[in-house]
Structure 1
Amino acid sequence: MQKNHELQHDPARIKSERLAEDNHGYVPGTSNGGSSNNGTSAEARYRALFESAGDAILIVDREGLCIDANPRATELVGYERQELLSMPILDLVAAAPGWADEEFRRFIDRERWTGEMELRHKDGSLVQVDMSATRVDIGSGPAIYLAAIRDLSDRKRLIEQGAELVRAKAEAQAQAEAARQRVRFVSDVSELLAVSLDYPATLVRLAELVVREIADLCVIDLVQESVTLKRVAAVHASSAKQPLADQLGDYAPRPGSSDPVARAFATGEAQVFSHQSAGSLRAITQDEGHLRIAREIGVQSFLSVPLIARGRTLGVISLISTNPDIRYGESDVRLAEEIARRAAVRIDNARLYEERDHTAKVLQRSLLPPSLPPIPHVELAARYLPVGEGNEVGGDFYDVFDCGDGNWAAAVGDVCGKGPEAAAVMGLARHTLRAVARFERKPSALLRELNRALLEQSVEERFCTVCHLRLRPSRDHLRVTLCSAGHPLPLLLRRDGRLSSVGETGQLLGVFPEVSLVDTVVDMEPGDTLLIYTDGATEQRRDPVAGEKRLRDAFAASLGRSAEATAARVEKALRAARGSSPQRDDVALLVIRAAEPGPGPGPSDS
């Protein structure tokens, strides 16, 4: 009795009976009606297809009540089948109720509906679906409506993933292109910095390059006397605003101020400033005039990076943006730091070169006479042409000095090598010659004393060639006694145009204990000219003979001219022959001319 009572009040059974009545016999779980034979093969095939369909299928009546659902449908929306059978289909639609009602009425009228929508899962999440619904007639009873639903979540996810991949690829390509641009820019900076050691001019060109690529304004400040900064470059990308940039030169950063440049110099770290308000801009300017310039320039973002080399801060390079949409960030800091590093190394090298060049020039001047002494009835002129830019002491020298008793000494020498070692040998040679000349008159004997002094100093692999001359001038005659120790023989140009070498070549000094040296006496008449030179004057890499001919021709062309004009003509010829080719050796020239009686020296060069 209890069992029959429960069956009479089973809700599912009552609902099934009502559905059968409402739909003229269609009961969920059958193909056409409750009165059909459920064991037929057609019904079994239908049920198998319905249950195994890959798409979700909902069957609803004209009122929108769900009367059947396959497993895929229950999986899609999260409701059990029994829950769906008591639910209006519109409760599953996530759209606004008004829209869902209107679309359902349009579907009932048109008997077909296709489109995309969102269904609300039982857990509250939304499911994007593609729905195709159509009317199905069953016998003479009311029609039912079948909705085939396909989950678009996977497709949407794939589309989104594809879009994300496209965005990621575009971003990667943009980053790669930006990286290439940065590498190219850094390469351009390196190439620019390598061009010249004239770093003040190079820094201006660096600022010009920076404003073409990554900034609207570039300012470079260098340290002066270890504590203060001097503005050496201020370049704006707009020529119209360059006058404003020029005015920034009057506002060098003050130590200890809040200026980003001063802070970068003091801390040794990059400083980034972004213009937030009038007060923030005022905080980094020195006075009203400075503030006015900053406002007219339109400063928006400011990046200052110290120039550091060998642990010393040499200055600061600053990049300024005037675009409100461009604010300097971490990648900009890294790029600016790389530029600053390369610039700092170049500045440091240039300063070291300047110091070395200054030292070399001071030392070279100390090893050459500051001026040639006046000798009665004799004209003198000299030239010294160092290799390169003179940043290393050369090995060539000349000297003229008084020996007393109306005698004068002259010497031209060439020491092997360059640098401080060559300078030491030059100093020894000059001082020895001057000291010995006081008591030794013969040039050959004097050079033997120099050879002994060089060997006693044990200067390893340092030898020299020297041509030493003793001059005894008179009003109508100049007697020259000369000796060449491994040195090129002097050229004698007689006043009648005859040109010849004079003397005999002896052995070089500083190698052998005993040297073979010969004195030669030359009597020069007024107007005769003697040229003593080092081997750099005849240097010709492929044709030494041509180099000597060039020197002879230039000397011969100076016939009748003063000693100074002769030296100038020879120097001009040597420089012209060299052209743009680098000079391989130093050149020292000494011109000795027997003065002609009269009010002054011979004619000057024209």
Structure 2
Amino acid sequence: MAEQLEPETILREISDLEGRIEELRQAANMPAPDLRATLDAALIELELALTALRTVGADQANAAGRSATAESERRVLRTVFQDAPVPLFLLDRDAGVRRVNKQAAALLGTSPGYVSGKQFIAFCDLPTRAALRSQLAAVVRTGRRRRTEVRFLGREHPVDAVVTMARVWIRGEPDPMIIVAAGATTTPADGPAPAAGQAPAAGPVPAPGRAPAPGRPTPAAVPAGGNATGAARDAAVTAGDRDDEVMGALVHRMDVLATASELLLDEPVFNENVAVRRCARLLTAEMTEWVVIDLMPPRPGPASGPGVLAGSGGETNGDLRRVVVMGQADEPGEDTVHSLEQLAPAPGTLPYTVFTTRQSALRPHVEDLDLLGVCADGQPACVKMGATSVLCVPVEDGDRCIGTITLASSGEHGPLDLLDLGVAQRLGRYLALVIRAARLYQRRDEVAVSLQASLLPQRLPQIAGVEVAGLYRAATHGIEVGGDFYDVFPMAGDGWGMVLGDVCGKGQEAAAVTAAARHGVRTLSRWKPDPAEVLAMVNQGLLDEERFVTAVMAGLAIDEESVTATLASAGHPPAIVIGPDGMVRYASSGGVPLGLFDDFEVSTEVIELAVGDTLFLHSDGVLDACDLARRQFGQERLLEVLAAHASAPLQDMLNAVERRLIDFCDGDLRDDVSMLALRRLPAPLN
């Protein structure tokens, strides 16, 4: 009999109806939606709305009769919960679980206490939730029993079942309640139906296109009734098998951690982006379907100092950024990933809470689908990912929290558990240490680059009658300051000087020697016009240093009629002269490096440059660069490039040498490379 609706009840019914309709919309937009079930549920909602309109003002059902019925149902309910061999759930009007029997807890693979207090639909997969909520609402409103298919998210794997729902009144409760009975477990919808008289397959059938997740064992299915008798006992997992599965899961998780250590540390140079993506890729391959990593950027400015990271307990996440979203290949495509990448971890979301509290969180069965935020299109992130189980751990190095790692699973292979949480926590620690090292490394690299830049001229001077160009490229390995330097400067007697040198070794000590050599040559040249004499005086200044320097210097006499270069070599590769027709010749080499001996000798030569001739100086990093077979670039390859670009603009010539060098060694420069060139220009027309 229809019941009369009070005004407060009508408002509540309308609010509940709006919420369920929105869920149905979201379900229809999910990948591979069950449109038939959604349509049936929508028709039920229309029927409920019509019933509500028709029963406004209707007479209240006989209270005494209903009381007698409620008392009868209460006795039946008590008896059923004690003796029924099938899984039973007692729900309140809003589908919250009040009580379950042992068979229902066994069906879900958990304890009765864990299930109580949670939303019933949280234990069902996402595609059936919206329709199931509407069915439950129909049972409450109409009192008619309903039956539907449900996929429960069991501990080890989904369990397909048929549930029967009925409304009951219990004395002392102001609202009706719902009793849900799970019938015999059916074969998963994606698998073949068993033959007549044959028990269902022992193991679950994975969803299309998805293999069982490694390390998440899939034991034989236990029937929904929970009684291991007859065929059910044959399909139950023995204690020995269960122990083997637990041990296998533990070993697999240890393997995941070992693999993570190798992946995160297998880098000659720590790279934050590489480490983060490797971590996400490992987790999606071995543990779950979706991984989201949010990180704080390093604090800018000198106040942070080397290696100082943002993010610590009590700080806000104003700069917490989503850096990686990674899902399995069979998940929705780039649109889903893009939507999640644009979704910042806002207050109220699980990543925000974990970051600010530095406390890990495990949600084996997600009840609040807004747990990870709502995308720009209004759809919850959990719905887009199909996530029914979520965990989130902080990325912290023991001192500071710099982000979070979030794992989301569809429950296809059981919900995420404490073992998964432990692995994720350890990976969060590993990743934090690698990021800390990478940011320290990056900071030191920035300091090295700045220091290296101070050892080179910011720009080369413009000299009438000639063109000059220089190029420096740092080695790709290490972050220490290199020892290469070059410079062009005025000399005594209205001449010009150019020098290129290479200090033995790298680092701050080498940088100090580099600065002394470069500035010593530049300063002494203001009073000494002879390159040999300048180098001899610099040698005296470097004798107390523990490093030696090779260098080549040219003193240039430039006028309208000629350009003369006086070369002095101190143990450096010889200068090269390239004619405009591509003819190449070496200047003399030799001499003793600077800073080794008090008895210093230098090799000298005077060269007359014709119009179009190019004087080319270079460090030994050009000749010593090696390919994968450890063959050196060498003089012949260098001369080929110079000859091929003899008439090209001077900077283009140097760039061509650099490109050929990088191609030859596949980008793996083991030493710094520096080049300095001067070309005599044609006399201007009067």
TM-score (norm 2): 0.57
Pair 1:499-2:584 in alignment: yes
- Cα 1:367–1:274 change in 2 (3 A) is same
What is the distance in 2 between the residues matched to 1:385 and 1:263? Answer: 45
From 232, 240, 246, the equivalent of 2:338 is 246
Q: After the TM superposition, which residues 150-549 of structure 1 pair with which residues of structure 2 at under 5 Å, given as runs?
A: 167-194=238-265, 197-200=270-273, 202-204=275-277, 206-224=279-297, 225=299, 226-227=310-311, 228=317, 229-237=320-328, 238-240=330-332, 243-254=335-346, 257-275=347-365, 277=367, 280-281=368-369, 285=373, 292-309=380-397, 311-323=399-411, 326-389=414-477, 391-403=479-491, 406-455=494-543, 458-460=544-546, 462-495=547-580, 497-539=582-624, 547-549=634-636
Amino acid aligned to 2:555: R
Once the 2 structures are TM-superposed, how far is the Cα of residue 305 of structure 1 from its aligned partner? 0.9
Once the 2 structures are TM-superposed, how far is the Cα of residue 526 of structure 1 from its aligned partner? 0.7
Once the 2 structures are TM-superposed, how far is the Cα of residue 442 of structure 1 from its aligned partner? 0.9
SS at match of 2:273: helix
What is the distance in 2 between the residues matched to 1:543 and 1:200? Answer: 29
- Cα 1:249–1:500 change in 2 (3 A) is closer
Same amino acid, percent of matched pairs: 31
What is the distance in 1 between the residues matched to 2:585 and 2:336? Answer: 67
**Which residue does 1:551 correspond to in 2?**
638
What is the distance in 2 between the residues matched to 1:439 and 1:315? Answer: 59
> Which 4+ runs in 1 deviate beyond 6 A?
286-291, 540-546
From 659, 662, 672, the equivalent of 1:572 is 659
**Which residue does 1:583 correspond to in 2?**
669
Q: Computing the radius of gyration over CA atoms, which structure comes out larger, 1 or 2?
A: 1
What is the distance in 1 between the residues matched to 2:478 and 2:450? Answer: 11
What is the distance in 1 between the residues matched to 2:665 and 2:281? Answer: 35
Conserved? CA contact 1:491–1:530, under 8 Å: yes
Q: Deviations over 1:487-524 (max 9, x none)?
A: 12211234465433224522111121231224432211
What is the distance in 1 between the residues matched to 2:284 and 2:524? Answer: 65
SS at match of 2:415: coil
Once the 2 structures are TM-superposed, how far is the Cα of residue 333 of structure 1 from its aligned partner? 1.2
What is the distance in 2 between the residues matched to 1:356 and 1:349? Answer: 10
What is the distance in 2 between the residues matched to 1:353 and 1:230? Answer: 21
SS at match of 2:394: strand
What is the distance in 1 between the residues matched to 2:633 and 2:334? Answer: 54
Gaps of 5+ in 2: 1-232, 300-309, 312-316
Conserved? CA contact 2:567–2:605, under 8 Å: yes
Once the 2 structures are TM-superposed, how far is the Cα of residue 201 of structure 1 from its aligned partner? 5.4
What is the distance in 2 between the residues matched to 1:282 and 1:562? Answer: 62
Once the 2 structures are TM-superposed, how far is the Cα of residue 414 of structure 1 from its aligned partner? 0.6
SS at match of 1:171: helix
Once the 2 structures are TM-superposed, how far is the Cα of residue 342 of structure 1 from its aligned partner? 2.5
What is the distance in 2 between the residues matched to 1:492 and 1:284? Answer: 67
- Cα 1:484–1:543 change in 2 (3 A) is farther
SS at match of 1:306: strand
**Which residue does 1:595 correspond to in 2?**
681
SS at match of 1:506: coil
Once the 2 structures are TM-superposed, how far is the Cα of residue 295 of structure 1 from its aligned partner? 4.4
**Which residue does 1:76 correspond to in 2?**
none
SS at match of 1:336: helix
**Which residue does 2:20 correspond to in 1?**
none
What is the distance in 2 between the residues matched to 1:538 and 1:270? Answer: 54
- Cα 1:281–1:577 change in 2 (3 A) is closer
Once the 2 structures are TM-superposed, how far is the Cα of residue 528 of structure 1 from its aligned partner? 1.3
Kindly indicate which of the two structures has a greater share of residues assigned to strand. 1
Conserved? CA contact 2:572–2:589, under 8 Å: no
- Cα 1:253–1:168 change in 2 (3 A) is same
What is the distance in 2 between the residues matched to 1:516 and 1:553? Answer: 32
Kindly indicate which of the two structures has a greater share of residues assigned to helix. 1
Amino acid aligned to 1:417: G
Higher deviation after alignment, 417-426 or 194-203: 194-203
Q: Deviations over 1:116-165 (max 9, x none)?
A: xxxxxxxxxxxxxxxxxxxxxxxxxxxxxxxxxxxxxxxxxxxxxx99x9
What is the distance in 2 between the residues matched to 1:579 and 1:288? Answer: 43
- Cα 1:276–1:391 change in 2 (3 A) is closer
- Cα 1:399–1:316 change in 2 (3 A) is same
- Cα 1:288–1:573 change in 2 (3 A) is closer
Higher deviation after alignment, 189-198 or 397-406: 189-198
- Cα 1:508–1:208 change in 2 (3 A) is closer
SS at match of 1:505: coil
Give the paired residue count: 430
- Cα 1:544–1:380 change in 2 (3 A) is farther
Amino acid aligned to 2:291: C
CA RMSD of aligned residues (A): 3.3
Conserved? CA contact 1:467–1:483, under 8 Å: yes
Name which structure has the greater RCO, CA cutoff 8 Å, separation 6+.
2
